[in-house]
Structure formats: C-alpha cells, structure tokens
Structure 1
Amino acid sequence: MWCHKILVAYDGSPASEKAIALAQAIASESPEVELVLVNIMRLVGGGMTGAGMDAVLADDAEAMRQHLLEVAANAANPTTVKVLSGTAPAELILRCVREEGCDLVIMGSRGKGGVGGYLGSVSYAVTKSSPVAVLITKEGDCR
C-alpha cells in the first residue's frame, strides 16, 4: 500500500465529511492502513474568552468528538480520534502528522480565505508546510 497512516482533519463541514469518506475508501485497499481522525478545538485569543465562550467551544468539540468516535467504531480499519486545542489549527495538524507518523493528510476546504477562494486559510497553511502529501476535498459535487 502506498500509504500506511492517514490523518483526516475534521471540522464538521460537508467537505470534511467527504474527507472522512475518501480516507475510508483509500484505507479499504488494505486492512493495515490506520486512520487518525482529528478535530481542532480552536481557542479564541485576544481576551474574547470567558466561561460562556469556553462552554460553547467545549460543547461543539464534544459533539464532534462523539461523531468521530461513532465513525471510528464503525470503521473497517484501525481508527483513533484526537481532539486538539489551540489557536493555530494548521500547526496543530502538522504537529500531529509528525507525532503520529502519518504519510497522508486528507482535509476539507471551505475556500473562505487563503488562496483566491480555492483553499481555506487552514488548508492552505497545511498544504504549504506539510512534510507529506495533502489531499483536499471541496464542498459540492465532484463533477
């Protein structure tokens, strides 16, 4: 198999759901391929945090973690779930790639920032600095 461990960055968007499906399709080629499903709990900087904001972030992260645990429980390949927290999602994803020994990253892109609406700011930063291949899924049809 050309890859052994795939990191999937998940943010709850339709494009990140596609990323999970694509990772599972690639992994289905070999039972030894491992998946690492990662959600980033983005911490808000600049004094904008408070008990209420922290609770909302924690609730969102927990809901996504539960969804990913469900996906992992039903996956054919070995699958782990990680929730990482910080203010720099791309850096957290890249650190996880290195620590886990992943050789492929699959993530969605909403295209809200970054490069001319084609890549979001996080997917652009990961693509630019990743030591391994990065596959980007987009929202909408694949036609």
Structure 2
Amino acid sequence: MWTRKILVAYDGSAPSRRALELAAQIAGADRSVELVLAHVMRLFSSGAAAAGIDAVIMDDAESVRAEMEAVAEMLPNPASVRLLRGTSPADLIVNCALEEGCDLIVMGSRGQGGVKGYLGSVSYAVTKESPVTVLIAKDGSRR
C-alpha cells in the first residue's frame, strides 16, 4: 500500500465528511493502514469575554469528538481521535500529521465557515506547508 497512516481533518462540514469517506475508501484497501481523525479547536484569545466563547467552542469540539469516536469504532482499520487546540489550524494539522507519522492528509476543500466553490484558507495553507501529500475532498454532485 502506498500509504501507512492517514490524518483526516474533520469539522463536521460536508467537505470534511467527504474527506472521511475518501480516507476510509483508501484505507479499506489494506486493513493495516491507520487513520487519525483530527478536529481543530481554534482558540482566539484570553480574558473574561473569551472565556464564554471558549466554553461554546469546547462544547462544539466535544460534540465533534463524540461523532469522530463513533466513526472510529465502526471503521475496520485502526483509528484514533485527536482534538487539536491552538490559534493556527493549518499549523496544528500539519504538526499533528508529522507527530503521528502520517504520510497522507485528507481534508475538505473548505470548512464550516468556507465560501462554496473556493478552496478554504486552512486547506490552502495546509497544501502549501505540508511536507506530506494532501488530498482535498470536495462535496457536491459527482459528474
């Protein structure tokens, strides 16, 4: 198999669900291929005002974590779940892939806040910065 370990960046958006499907299809060819499902919890700042925002972000992240853990249990391949916390999602994704020894990153073309039809800023930054192969999944109709 040409890949041993795949990092899937997942945020619950349609493109990230498509990324998860593609990664599962690739890994399905060899049950020894490992998957790392990663969700970025983007932290903004500190202080009393940010504390409320961080609490909402944490609740959302825990919801996504639960979803990813359920998916990981259903996959025939070995799979783990990571919550990444920080201010630069692209750096967190690339660094996680390197730390985990991944040789492929699969992610959606845009995340929760993306503009339809364009490559998102995080996806673009990951493709620029990653020393490992990046596969960008697009949602939508297949032609």
State the TM-score, normalized to the length of structure 1: 0.92
Q: 1:75 is aligned with what amino acid?
A: L
Q: Is the 8 A contact 1:110 1:139 kept in 2?
A: no
Instruction: From the superposition, tell whether residues 48 and 141 of structure 1 become closer, same or farther in structure 2 (CA, over 3 Å).
Output: farther
State the TM-score, normalized to the length of structure 2: 0.92
The equivalent of 1:80 in structure 2 is 80
The alignment status of 1:11 with 2:16, answered yes or no, reads no
Report the CA distance between 1:128 and its aligned residue.
0.5
The equivalent of 1:64 in structure 2 is 64
Instruction: From the superposition, tell whether residues 76 and 107 of structure 1 become closer, same or farther in structure 2 (CA, over 3 Å).
Output: same
Q: RMSD in angstroms over aligned alpha carbons?
A: 1.7
The equivalent of 2:2 in structure 1 is 2
Report the CA distance between 1:49 and its aligned residue.
4.6
Instruction: From the superposition, tell whether residues 45 and 142 of structure 1 become closer, same or farther in structure 2 (CA, over 3 Å).
Output: farther
Per mean C-alpha deviation after superposition, the further-off stretch among 38-47 and 25-34 is 38-47
Q: Is the 8 A contact 2:110 2:122 kept in 1?
A: no
2: CA distance between counterparts of 1:89 and 1:48?
A: 23
Aligned residues: 140
Q: Is the 8 A contact 2:127 2:134 kept in 1?
A: yes
Contiguous gaps of at least 5 residues in structure 2: none
2: CA distance between counterparts of 1:17 and 1:48?
A: 34
Report the CA distance between 1:12 and its aligned residue.
1.0
The equivalent of 2:91 in structure 1 is 91
